[in-house]
Structure 1
Amino acid sequence: SALIDPVFSDRLALLPRSAPPGVARADLPKIDLVLITHNHRDHMDAPSLRLIGDAPLYVVPEGLGSWFRRAGFSRVVELAWWEQRELEGLAVTFVPAQHWSRRGLFDDHTSAWGGYVLEAEGLRVYHSGDTAYFEGFAEIGRRCGPIDAAMLPIGAYEPRWFMRTQHMNPADAVQAFEDLGARRFVAMHWGTFKLTDEPLDLPPQALCEAWAERGLADARREIPAIGQTLRLDR
């Protein structure tokens, strides 16, 4: 089993959580891998990582390994963009995103950020991490495809003048999906923390509208409720 950017905390600084974790920490199965997309606190939550503990293998962007080792995690693998490793039965490729990294006041861009393409038993799944829309989606599709399912963010996008260079809106996410050439869209990154100006429940509605405008089949789009189990197959 694997986790990506696990956050179990009830608050992030002054921000309260608006929905409980999809799976309570006590109900998790044995975790073999924890993948981190970047070092922002809503994706790399130190209290949650301490709860998970040192047993899993932690896969982190280039430049973040030292933070994990200082925090007491002994099994850490750093990946650069486009680097692939076979880890715990998964082929893991770290791919670019249009975002940024910073943990403190003076450490801008000292570690990488990105997404992951995961492959096992012929199934290939892409998790973008935080990202704005960028031309790199087409390259990810070319280099890592065919992608069976693309997990793409649809929330935290208003106001656009500020967020457009770091987070996609739902229409951007639909364009990214088409650029990737993926078979199925899985919506993520919405409804948990009120990070930006749009209502928490707006992104799914906006995604459905953008989807319909493109004339895409509803069967190719998934908007899982928080805590819902989704079975992915080829």
Structure 2
Amino acid sequence: MIPVLLSELRRRRWATAGWSLGISAYIALNLLTYPIVRDQSKALGQVLASLPGSFKTMVSDSTDLLSPAGFMSSKILYLILPMLFTVLAVSLGSTLLAREERSGTLELLLARPLPRRRLLAGKMAAGLAIMAIVTVAASAIAILFSWRVGLELSLLRIMQAIGLSALMGLMFGGLALALSALGRATGRGSAALSAALAVGGYLVVSLEGLADWLRWPAKLLPYHYYQPTEVLLGGYNWLNAWGFFAITVILAAIAMAGFSRRDIGG
């Protein structure tokens, strides 16, 4: 397992560095604009008051976009960051095995005295490590620049909100991995299906306040339970996060069981 983990991390080291740098730069650049928003809050408030409610629900789960929590939610946490984490996790989940299959090296790996479960466990550990590295980098930059610009929020809660965003992305990555592990037929659409579920969930949840008929479908989607503003304000129900974690574990178990039984040549 350890050799597989180290090999996968070495193979993806530059991509990991690029994701860490890119997400960190995005967070830093947005936080650097906070003093401007804070100093011009009166004028910006008049502009925001003229915007339709549908626009506000699409960019944040906060009713006050100019508050520290509202700013953090609308600029970073509500849409862009979770989507970036989801893209990263889905790309990992859909390629950890598929890339080996496409290159013809999966059969060679399994020809060695290496159990399938150990091979997949090593690759999953590598995916988790990459997600953890990017999340830690993003959290460190967010904490540093939040302190630098005087964002009046708990630094611990900022870190928790970023972690929740990464956890939700990891759940969609688990779905992509499970589909990829079950077979080539399901693996071909794993990335598209996982990404479609993430984007579709965001759209349904962000619009549920405008259409009553969307309220019940929204409750079935993970995005409904992703509430970064509540995390920042200390009112989040962490049972929701445990739900994300449980679903991710279940999907990992499905991937392990499916990969152990599937016909690699088919």
Higher relative contact order (CA 8 A, sep 6+): 2
- TM-score category by the smaller chain? under 0.3
Q: TM-score, normalised by structure 1?
A: 0.22
Which structure has greater helix proportion?
A: 2
Q: TM-score, normalised by structure 2?
A: 0.20
Which structure has greater strand proportion?
A: 1
* Higher radius of gyration, 1 or 2: 2
